[in-house]
Amino acid sequence: MSTFRTFDAARAESVTTPPDPPAGRRRSRTLRGERSAAAWMISPAILLFMVFLIIPIILAFGLAFTDTRLISPRPGQFIGLDNFAYLFTDPVFWASVRNTFYFALVVVPVQAGFALILALLVNAKVRGTNFFRTVYFLPVVTSMVVVSLLWRFMYEKDGLINQVLGTLSFGTYTPIDWLNDPVWALPAIMFMSIWQGVAFHMVIWLSGLQTIPAELYEASEIDGASRRQQFLYVTWPGLRQTATLILVTITIAAFSLFTQIAVMTQGGPLDSTTTVVYQAVRTGYQQLQTGLASAISLVFFVMVLIVSGIQRYLTRERS
């Protein structure tokens, strides 16, 4: 028995345990595993991004130079710049460009200004701020289609707005058919859009306000600065990056005006509310002119790129 035990012990000692891999090799294996897992997790997002954004953009660039139709037995042919030449002589297109810029020039500063005022009021340390934050933000979480439908009923000739104005004027007010009047249709949509979107940008302003150190306000109070001086020399410089973000986002949203037009006016009356995006959709899906709609989309892309670049240049930090 002792002989067998000695033999087993000797054989166990002769079996050497393989050495552990170096630390660098273990780290590289861990990194490869993490990268592989990250690639698998991000691949669905990349696929959706490619299918719904990158490929449509490439197709739009290509179709803009063809006469492709949405439903046609004849394949599209390359026509060069004919679509753009037609657009630049089309009065409806120029009306849509004018309406888009008019909407943006009014909505961007007014919405940003009201959002800043609301943010300053909500940021004040008074009772009930959480309640007002919720009330202000309710229109944002409501679907734009639902909001547009509600305001369309309110804007009717016998709707709520005319009834309120008639009551306040003691019967001397003449009701206006807001959405069927070429003069008032677009301003009415502007008012509704500002009301619906102002709370979203209020939250962005509010986040910027809360990043400003309280010590700066305390130091300014010790120096005897007024509320106006505190806003000009403490609050506004601290909101410079926030202001750039808000101006760019509101501008892009204003140029992309579509849902309100599609639900409330369908571009009328007399194309007084037609925008570039709405004309592109109408041209592509109602008139079935896919090539021309792609050309409109390409022009819209260039417009937004130029305006955003100008805004970014004007609001840049100057050394």
- DSSP for 219-248, written as a single string: HHHHTT--HHHHIIIIIHHHTHHHHHHHHH
pLDDT at residue 4, rounded to an integer: 46
pLDDT at residue 314, rounded to an integer: 77
pLDDT at residue 305 is higher than 90: no
195-215 pLDDT tens trace: 999 989 998 998 899 888 888
Weakest-pLDDT range from 23-27, 223-227, 301-305: 23-27
100-113 pLDDT tens trace: 999 999 999 999 99
Q: Residue 137, CB half-sphere, CA atoms under 13 Å: how many?
A: 15
- pLDDT top residue among 47 and 127: 47
> Could you tell me which residues come within 8 angstroms of residue 59 by beta carbon, excluding any fewer than 6 positions away?
294
Average pLDDT of the chain, as a whole number: 85
53-80 pLDDT tens trace: 889 888 888 889 998 888 877 888 889 8
Q: How many Å apart are CA 297 and CA 303, to the nearest integer?
A: 10
Average pLDDT value for residue range 282-291:
90
The CATH code of the domain at 91-314 is 1.10.3720.10
pLDDT at residue 7, rounded to an integer: 47
pLDDT at residue 264, rounded to an integer: 94
- pLDDT top residue among 129 and 86: 86
Is residue 125 within 8 Å of 312, Cβ to Cβ? no
Q: How many Å apart are CA 258 and CA 278, to the nearest integer?
A: 5
Q: How many Å apart are CA 42 and CA 256, to the nearest integer?
A: 29
- pLDDT top residue among 25 and 263: 263
